[in-house]
Structure 1
Amino acid sequence: MVFTLLTLGAIVLAGLIIYWILQPSNRDRRSSSRRTSRPPKRVISLLNGDTATAQRLFETARSRNPGESDQWCWEKVLWDLERDRRW
C-alpha cells in the first residue's frame, strides 16, 4: 500500500516536472512587457516620428506572435510598413 502511494506520488511529481519544463517561459515576456524596447530609427522614420503609433504596432505584433522576441516584433513591424508602402 505504501509502495503504491509512493510510486503514484513519484509519477505525479515527474509529470509535473516535465509539464513545467515544457511550458513556454512567461517570465521573459512579463519582464519585457513592463519595459518595451525602443523603436528602431527606420520604423520612426517611416511613421514620420509618430512613436505612439510605433508602440501600438509593436504591441499588436507581439500579441499576434506570442513567444517571439522584441527584436523579431520590431522587424515584423518594419517589414509590414515597408510592404504596405509598395505598389
Structure 2
Amino acid sequence: MLVSATHVLTFILGLLAIAVVVCILVGIYFYHIVKKQPRRSSKQFQQRSRFQKNERQQQSQNWFMSSKAKHLERELLSLLRGDQKTLQRLLSYSQEHNRNKSIEWHLEKVKYDLERDRGAL
C-alpha cells in the first residue's frame, strides 16, 4: 500500500489547519480571561511598584547586614520563637512608617516595641 505525495501533503495541511484553529481558540480563551480581570488604576500600580521597591531594598539591606544587625535579628527571632514571616512583616511595617532609617534602627525599634507590648519594659 503506497501512499502518494498528495495524500501526505493533504494530511500535513490538515494537521496545520487544526493547529492554527487550536492556537486561535487558546488566544480567544486567554483574551477573555484577561478581559475579565479588573484593571488597576495608576494609583494601585504605583503602590504595588513602591511595595516591590521596598521589598527589593529590604532584601539588599539584609544581604549587607552588620554584625550588630545580625545580632539584633537573632534576638528578635528568639523573641518571636523563630517566626521569620512575622519578623519580616514587622520590619516591613516599620520601614514603611519610618523611611530613611538604617536596618539596625528598624531592628531596634521592632525589638523595643515587642518588649514594650509584652510588658518586659
TM-score range, shorter chain: 0.5 to 0.7
Please tell me whether residue 58 in structure 1 is matched to residue 104 in structure 2: no
Q: Hey, what does 1:79 align to over in structure 2?
A: 112
Calculate the aligned-residue CA RMSD, in Å: 2.4
Please give the per-residue CA displacement for 1:8-27, whole angstroms capped at 9, x wherever unaligned: xxxxxxxxxxxxxxxxxxxx
More divergent stretch after superposition (36-45 vs 75-84): 36-45
> When the two structures are superposed, what TM-score results if normalisation uses the length of structure 1?
0.58
Q: Mind listing any 5+ residue stretches in structure 2 that lack a counterpart?
A: 1-53, 63-69
Instruction: Give the Cα–Cα distance (whole angstroms) in 2 for the partners of residues 41 and 33 of structure 1.
Output: 17
Please give the per-residue CA displacement for 1:35-83, whole angstroms capped at 9, x wherever unaligned: 3426611100111110010011001000000111111001100000010
Q: Hey, what does 1:42 align to over in structure 2?
A: 75
State the structure with bigger RCO (CA 8 A, min sep 6), 1 or 2. 1
Identity of counterpart residues, as a percentage? Answer: 36
Q: Which amino acid aligns with 1:33?
A: Q
Instruction: Determine which structure has the larger helix proportion and give its number.
Output: 2
Instruction: Give the Cα–Cα distance (whole angstroms) in 1 for the partners of residues 78 and 84 of structure 2.
Output: 10
Instruction: Give the Cα–Cα distance (whole angstroms) in 1 for the partners of residues 117 and 77 of structure 2.
Output: 15
Q: Mind listing any 5+ residue stretches in structure 1 that lack a counterpart?
A: 1-28
> When the two structures are superposed, what TM-score results if normalisation uses the length of structure 2?
0.43
